[in-house]
Structure 1
Amino acid sequence: MGKIALWGMQHGLGVTSATAALAAFIGLEYDVRTLVSQPQRTDGDMERFFNKTINQYNRQFFAIGGLGLDSLERVAKSSKLERNSVKNYTLMVERNRLDLLWGSERLNRPQQGSIEAVNMVFRMAAEYYGISLLDARSGQDNEVSNSLIRDADLVVICVNQNISVLEKYFDNQRKHWPEVLEEKPHLLLMTQYDPMSKYKIKNIANKYKLKAPILTIPYNTSFKDHLNDGDIKGFFARNRFVGSSHENHYFIQEVGRAAKTILHEIGINTKLKRIERGN
């Protein structure tokens, strides 16, 4: 299983929407059991982005307790976590391929033992899921995020085309990174990307002499509208096979490139796992 933490150098970089986009795309396109979660829940954005699907598949469970990370934390502390425990506390988004684990507001003020219990939850998730996509709270001084990064197999660092953010990443990495990130394998993801900007990825790579790929989640109005409508799965389903002249084609292609690169990085054969058209 590949545990992937998505993290931003500062707040406001669209980490949650990027995590949701990658999860929705992978759940639609690849036969891999995938878990997505925003462990430190604040405004409930991750759950809201998938709201229409959650309501469709989980009507009888949606409004009741006994689900999510808080419940699993209690199970972990009682030493009763088993292979299917995490699955049993999630909400289904894509049958047999994508589940959402409701995050915890209590983790914003973690109590003794909570962080280790949460790590136990995601370690046990490895017994069932092929990949976990975790939205880690941005910034340096967050104990929960640092723990998620420490335990991750891969970290996706989110930036945007703001020159101050880019300079933090390229010119002064260690000053703006959690110490636990220094030895971790990582990829660079540019969120809300504008390919018409002077600061497009080719120019950024040349300016900073970067050899590694820069992944992107482009800015897309329809995608943003679907996020607000809680229908992110519907957006990808409706635009899955759009032609090259369609206004959403570039967005779909770039999210697909990012997803494929991430899966390759954690050792998943995307050719074998790709779902054939019509399935």
Structure 2
Amino acid sequence: MYQINALNPKDEGHHTRKRFGQNFLHDQRVIAKIVRSVNPRPGENVVEIGPGLAALTSPLIGECDALTVVELDRDLAAGLPGRVPHPERLTIIEADALKFDFMSLFQEGRPLRVVGNLPYNISTPLLFHLLEFGAKVKDMHFMLQKEVVDRITASPNTKEYGRLSVMIQYYCKPTFLFEVPPGSFNPPPKVTSAVFRLEPYDVKPIVAKNEKALARLVSHVFTQRRKTLRNSLKGMLAEDAFEKTGIDPMARPETLSMADFVALSDLVVA
């Protein structure tokens, strides 16, 4: 469980906090690559989650005329103005991103662009929390464990394909960008990381009649992924659901497309 933050060379003496699971990014090449991927521009509504010691914040704020950061660590938040080249452009919010109302940062005509080296131990609930504001978000660039990014971007008929793949891809277009090795951090985590992009759909390619039913069905079948659909969904679907959708009742969940999951969820018995 790691929270990856950026390490500013002049803050080498900062001690990481185990309760926040902090690992600080120090590889300047990786930092530059992240900033190039985000490609921030003046006039955009850019929000960074977990700025840490500001090594990513500093180049970001150099490209923006305003940057909002959400930082849980009170000591780190207090030191941020002294670590960036344009403190007058910086707005600091001391808050837990998992509970923060990102809608409060939305400005008409300026959708949010969210950047973050997310706390790995709360990454999944945080991603779903952010998706609640997806209609107001242009894109999101995050770093997580590579294995989690592989699951988010996975296609059907792969071992990585699961609940996270289906539900994230229902709301967003995900793109795997690049890997980040453990040596890019201080202290090095025990996992390889990866940077990826999420682009929430303005209009979803496929729309479920009941998104809660979709989420419930997807979660249910992937907790029993070795079972056939007929067995795992017994009692959840109308009797003629497989006949209506043309989906093989003997199939397993990792073989289904997004359209298949939506078609089945539309026939969930209330």
TM-score (norm 1): 0.30
Which of the two has greater helix per residue?
A: 1
Which of the two has greater strand per residue?
A: 2
Q: Which has the larger radius of gyration?
A: 2
Q: RCO (CA 8 Å, sep 6+): is it higher in 1 or 2?
A: 1
TM-score (norm 2): 0.31
